[in-house]
Structures are given as C-alpha cells and as structure tokens.
Structure 1
C-alpha cells in the first residue's frame, strides 16, 4: 500500500496550521515543507523545510510545490482571494495529487446551509477549480466552528460575554451543534494523511475514500445551555450570577444581514454563527452526516479544559 510522504503547508505557523504541523512532526511519517511569502519573518519549527515564494510569480509557486504529494492550505480570511487559486494552479502544474483547501469549518456539502451561512459560493468555486484542472483531488475538513475561539472573545460568536457574565441564547439555547478544538483538527489531518492512498484490506480506510469529499470530525456536540453548564463548573458560579436573555434566531440572522449591508462586518459573524444554530440540525453534522472520529482514532476531549482556555480569550477582538 502506498502512502503520501511529502506534505507542503501554507500557513504553517497560523492558528490552524501550527497544530497540523505539530501533529505531523509528532507522527514523524512525513517530510513537511512550509510555503511562506518572501517577506515572512515567521519562526518555523525545527524539522520543517522552508520554501519562500513570490505569489505573483507562477514559476516560483510551481517550483516550491514540485515533488509534493499533498498541499494543505490554511490561510487567513484576510488573505487575498486570488492566493488560493494561484496555489491550486501551481499545484496542478507541479503534479500535486492531493489538496486540502481552505475548507475548515461548516458543512459545505449542505449547499443551502453553506449559502445561507455566506460561505458556500467562494468555497464551491475553489473546489470546482481543483476538479476542472483535473490533476489534484481535494479533501475538505468539516469541523464546525472552533470551540475555545468561538466561546471566548466576541459575544457575536457563541453569545457569551465573560467580561459582564452575560449570555444571549439563540431561541431557547438548546439546539446542539458540532464544534471542534484546534488540537483535534491537527490530529485529524495528521491521521488522515497517514492512511494508505488506495484501498487495501477489506474494510480498511484509505485516503481515496475521501477523494473530492469531506472528512467530518468533532470534539463536542453541545448546545449553548451545555456550554453554559461547563462555564458554571469552570468559573464556580451559579445561574443567578449570569444575565441570560433569549432572542429569535431568525430575527438575529436577518439583523446580521442588515448590518452587513450597512458595512458593519460584525453582522457577517453574527449571521454566520446564528444560522448554524437554527433549529434544524444544519450545524449538527454528526447527526446528519456521521463522524470520522472513530475511524481516525481521535480521542474524547474534556470540554471544561477548553472552556477554561476560552475564558482567557475574553478580550479577543472580532
């Protein structure tokens, strides 16, 4: 059975990429190359090759990706929109067989939901472009929103404000969604890339099983009320210590869209998050799609551990 060996990653020191690199290094089964901009001063971990590229120079990108089996793209939402297409074109010309595009998060296979959550069209265009080039296959990682990032910081995410001990429940706060920690995403990618590329023994999973398809993983399937119960345990507080209010999710979603039209991008965050909590299980992909946690041997995590981490993010900006 063949396995991928050479893995190039864009965003190796970023929020998601750093965890993926750490898990790949821990496994010790791949040659890892960090693809960075020429002016980058990022400190790359020992054991990772570094190739600096000029995104405006196609030949530079192709040279960086030649000989790679996998390209993992983890880019900031602030990155130029054309950067991912430039990487995909270079990967095709370099003969890269597998691409994990910037597909982290919501279930884009549920197209009506993805479109309503404002992420469908751009991600669909990227996947279509990979397929149209006809060289690489893609694997999307569906992990939901990241738990500690979304619970902490902006109340426009999971509704919590730790500075004033308040929480806004969408509807009654009982709609469960899948949400994942950064370490779990790193483990999932490392274990995915450790699978054989083609079918072997009967019943054995392979990378080919996910060809032009999605990997579904999750740390927790929880509602806002479940999150609050974890918060109460971690902070040693009671319900009486918290100001809890309820608002209709459909109205909050519409409000977020209006805010976007007025140029307030907090509305984008609000609309995207609230739409995930609609009472129809769009955000509960473990129920509607099933999970690959067991297939990858992912551990069961302690939600309270990551709730503590979330609270340290209470002053994060949007």
Structure 2
C-alpha cells in the first residue's frame, strides 16, 4: 500500500505529460484540430487544485463523518489477501457509482462535477479537469458506509484514487470498442457516452472501473455508430478562463437560490436535479466579462449551461 501511495504522488505530472503527447500527435501527426486553450484551462484547473487548493484544504468537509464511522465501525476488515482487496475494489466502485450518479442528479454536487463536463472536446487533458470545490461539497460522505462496515479510511480513499487514475485512459476518443471487455469494464466507448450531451446519451454510464452497476441499475447505454457523441454541456460553456470554469455553475446556483421564494424552494434547488430554463444572467455575464465577450451559447431553449448531466 505504501508503494502504491508513492506511485500516486507522481501520477498527475505523468498524466499531464501523456496528455500533452496526445495533443501533439493529434495536432501535428494526425492533423486534427486540437484546442490548446482548452488544454491550458484543464492544466490550470489540475495544478491549481493539486498544489494550491489541497494545500489550504487538506480534508473534506465530510471528514468528521468519516472519523465517526471508523470509530463506531461494525467490523474491521483485514486487507491481507487477494479476496479482501477484490471486495474493497468492488465496494469502492459501487460507492463511486452512487457518488457519480448523485453528482449528476443533485445540484449541490453537480456544481463541482459540471467542471469535468465543461470541456467541448473529449481528450486526455479533459480527464483531470475536476474543479476546485470538491472537498467543500462533502462528497466523501458516499464512502462512509464502507468505512462504517469496517474498511479503513486509508485503503478506501487509496482505492478511490486508483479508480480515478484508471479513468484517465477512458478519455481517449481514438480508442475503439474493446470487444467482450465492454460487458464488464468501463471503457472509452462507454465513457464517450457519459460525456456526450446528446439527448439520447444524457445521464448514462456512471461506473468508474466497472460498467456492471450501470447495467444493474438501468443507467447503461451503448455508443451507437449512427449517433456521434457531441461533447460538453448541453448549452456549451465557451470560456477557457479557469475561474469561469471553476465557478460558473456555483454562480448559477447562487442566483437561483437568491430568486427562490421559500425555504422549500431553496432546499429543492440544492438537492434537486440541475434545473431547466435559459442560461442565467449570472453565468452569461461572468463568462462574457472573463472571455472578452465570448459568452456561453444560450441558443438552446430550456437548457442551462449545467444541463449536460
């Protein structure tokens, strides 16, 4: 476990190098259009999170619940064999599935997760665009049941980090379908569907390492050859300003809370799904000012910039 933690410490620099190489190959060798401004926005997001945000906010707001669950755990699960580690990996992916699903269906969590879907291109650089507010949302609460059942917090969150590391390669658009692996694992094809904002693909394929939970709970959709994936938010966010990317959905959420007429409406705004409606002025003005007039495209009626759930 110690060796694994040491490897994870160097993961981000390695991922950035690989993503940069992908961009160079796509742009220079394969002569494809590559959005280097979006690449730099994703880079700024990752570096700001890893070397600034995590320094001043080392723990999640859910840390007290994590500590409480471990203190009052029902059992202690020893990770001294392959079977125990396999159970840990599967249980963590099950917990991740519900975290990821709620991150699309509960607006409080979507306010951070929207950042990951804000890139209008699907490539390896977009894989580490996660935003800066994840620890403020208390998302670690989804792993509290595992810890209460007896899995130590350290291995649980190490497994979560490995899960995210696995998902890096899923953001390669050029990898085709992978045969029988498509039935068990989350693959680039499945993840392309997840990132697509086509109506037929919305809110699908939440799995991390495995795709079996999507198949079990009715959220699986296969990529169709006759329906190319269109990436980004339903109403695209055109700005590459890292500040706009990090806070555009929080600004929209704050405005909707301000407009709410009752506490019931405010609660529904926080824990309900991302709402329909035209792009809010808060988001439009924020992107317009930061991008020198390049505001989000609000041409699609009935959809907000947060609506590619």
With the length of structure 2 as denominator, give the TM-score of the two structures: 0.25
With the length of structure 1 as denominator, give the TM-score of the two structures: 0.24
Bigger fraction of residues in strand: 1
